[in-house]
């Protein structure tokens, strides 16, 4: 019995030591499957309802609502950032009279069976609010120079206000999702889904997936609109926009198993809370009408959306032209659901940093103390903008995503999140040299600017600025950008 007790004590000590110094070499992480990607926002001024599509030809194609509501425009570039300066081509202009003569809204571009298709909404010169969904078909390798023909209106179960058509394929079946007003209900729009027989025709009976009933969906107007679909881990996620198009605009989320009957409303689960909302700290208001694309290396999902950088709007929000197209990386929780985080501040987008030897733990701030943790919530506690060092060029500083103006600072050996007081001492303490990872050159290590030879490292899950002497020390000072 005494011998067993000794064995148990030794086993416990070994386990405790493993927690303190980290796992052995076999447990250390390879570079993450989804490395960091960063962009500089906004991508485009005065472009709402943005849609970015990455094609197999290596180009990103970008379209959006223009504030004049009178035409459909396209840009293309080999990078997402390149779209911000890419020339813009008008591929279609509203009709001079009749249908498709007013309120040209929310175009999306898709490539289906060798041809280009643009879905959009439009009113009529006789009734600008007779909004319906229409389709253009384009032939040619480059849609900016393609020949476009009108395929007409997408007919649904009612002749009523309808818009925001989007199409996607699950298990070989093509679907159309859209927003429409049910004439029998005192409501604005619901989200509907149907199969398609061709790129401009639905077939069968549409199913209603979502109706605005929560308080956050009914501010100003009772709205569910702007559906966008992304698939991940055997599930289908459909985001949508809710409430009036001012600072109350936000995103909700529906989810279903990819193997379920998507035309059965019971297959879908609706989040009871919004997943993406205005954020006063980052100065972003009314984020919504999103789409999804992928990063240049194909390894990260990217959220595309519009918002404004001010809260208060004079008059009707529809007459305010200043919705901007923005992008940021979309992250995934351990349970396979998307984590939208917060609409990040203008400028360079943030990234996360995972530990080299604790790959499921991320650098984060908690009560202003820097540490590494698993399952960080809210996500933005583990996001940092890598900006030009406060102490000068050739260096970097790490600014909190959800507390702009607060930086990771070496404070008497401990690393804390501290508000910049503008002093030379703060600038020195919050500035680092970005080095190749000390345990893996694919990673990154941060050497203190104020104390040469000292590095940011974790010990017992807390972050410090210390000198390093062992392989474990160097592993503790190595991180991967994600």
> Do the beta carbons of residue 463 and residue 416 sit within 8 Å?
no
Q: What backbone torsions phi and psi does residue 263 show, to the nearest 5 degrees?
A: -90, 10
Q: Which residue has the tokens 């009523």?
A: 160
Give the angle 42-45-49 at the CA atoms, nearest 5°: 90
Alpha helices in 408-461 (DSSP H): 424-429
Q: Is 260 exposed, middle or buried (0-12, 13-18, 19+ CB in 10 A)?
A: middle
Q: How far apart are CA 179 and CA 1, in angstroms?
A: 71
How large is the C-alpha radius of gyration of the chain? 25
C-alpha distances in Å from residue 169, one per residue of 43, 139, 178, 264: 28, 21, 15, 16
Q: Which residue has the tokens 């059965």?
A: 264
Kindly name the residue from 108, 225, 381, 429 that is annotated as catalytic.
225
> Do the beta carbons of residue 234 and residue 259 sit within 8 Å?
yes
Kindly name the residue from 49, 190, 399, 476 that is annotated as catalytic.
49
Q: Where are the beta strands (DSSP E) in 125-200?
A: 132-139, 147-153, 162-170, 173-180, 190-198
> Do the beta carbons of residue 302 and residue 309 sit within 8 Å?
no
Q: Is 324 exposed, middle or buried (0-12, 13-18, 19+ CB in 10 A)?
A: buried
**Residue 307 bears catalytic tag:** no
**Residue 360 bears catalytic tag:** no
Could you list the active site residues? Answer: 49, 225
């Amino acid at each position: 019995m005494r011998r067993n007790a000794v064995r148990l004590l030794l086993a416990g000590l070994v386990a405790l030591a493993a927690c303190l110094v980290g796992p052995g070499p076999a447990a250390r992480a390879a570079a993450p499957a989804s490395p960091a990607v960063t962009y500089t926002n906004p991508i485009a001024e005065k472009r709402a309802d943005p849609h970015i599509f990455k094609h197999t030809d290596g180009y990103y194609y970008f379209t959006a609502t223009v504030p004049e509501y009178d035409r459909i425009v396209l840009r293309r570039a080999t990078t997402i950032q390149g779209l911000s300066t890419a020339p813009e081509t008008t591929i279609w202009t509203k009709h001079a009279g009749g249908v498709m003569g007013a309120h040209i809204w929310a175009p999306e571009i898709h490539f289906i069976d060798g041809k280009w298709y643009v879905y959009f909404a439009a009113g009529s010169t006789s009734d600008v609010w007779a909004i319906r969904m229409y389709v253009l078909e384009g032939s040619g390798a480059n849609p900016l120079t393609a020949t476009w023909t009108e395929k007409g209106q997408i007919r649904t179960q009612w002749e009523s206000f309808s818009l925001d058509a989007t199409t996607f394929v699950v298990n070989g079946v093509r679907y159309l999702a859209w927003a429409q007003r049910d004439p029998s209900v005192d409501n604005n729009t619901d989200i509907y889904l149907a199969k398609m027989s061709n790129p401009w025709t639905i077939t069968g009976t549409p199913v209603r997936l979502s109706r605005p009933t929560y308080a956050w969906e009914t501010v100003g107007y009772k709205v569910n609109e702007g559906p966008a679909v992304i698939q991940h881990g055997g599930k289908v996620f459909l985001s949508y926009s809710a409430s009036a198009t001012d600072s109350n605009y936000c995103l909700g989320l529906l989810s279903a198993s990819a193997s379920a009957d998507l035309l059965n409303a019971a297959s879908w689960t609706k989040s009871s809370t919004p997943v993406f909302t205005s954020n006063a700290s980052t100065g972003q208001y009314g984020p919504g009408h999103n789409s999804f694309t992928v990063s240049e290396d194909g390894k990260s999902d990217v959220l595309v959306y519009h918002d404004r950088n001010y809260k208060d709007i004079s008059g009707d929000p529809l007459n305010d032209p200043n919705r901007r197209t923005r992008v940021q990386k979309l992250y995934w929780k351990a349970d396979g659901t998307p984590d939208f985080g917060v609409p990040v501040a203008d400028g360079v987008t943030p990234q996360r940093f995972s530990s080299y030897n604790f790959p499921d733990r991320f650098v984060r701030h908690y009560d202003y103390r820097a540490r590494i943790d698993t399952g960080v919530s809210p996500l933005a506690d583990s996001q940092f903008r890598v900006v030009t060092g406060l102490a000068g060029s050739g260096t970097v500083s790490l600014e909190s995503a959800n507390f702009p103006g607060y930086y990771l600072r070496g404070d008497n050996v401990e690393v804390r999140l501290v508000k910049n007081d503008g002093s030379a001492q703060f600038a020195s303490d919050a500035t680092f040299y970005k080095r190749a990872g000390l345990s893996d050159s694919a990673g990154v290590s941060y050497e203190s600017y104020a104390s040469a030879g000292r590095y940011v490292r974790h010990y017992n899950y807390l972050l410090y600025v210390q000198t390093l002497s062992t392989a474990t020390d160097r592993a503790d000072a190595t991180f991967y950008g994600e």
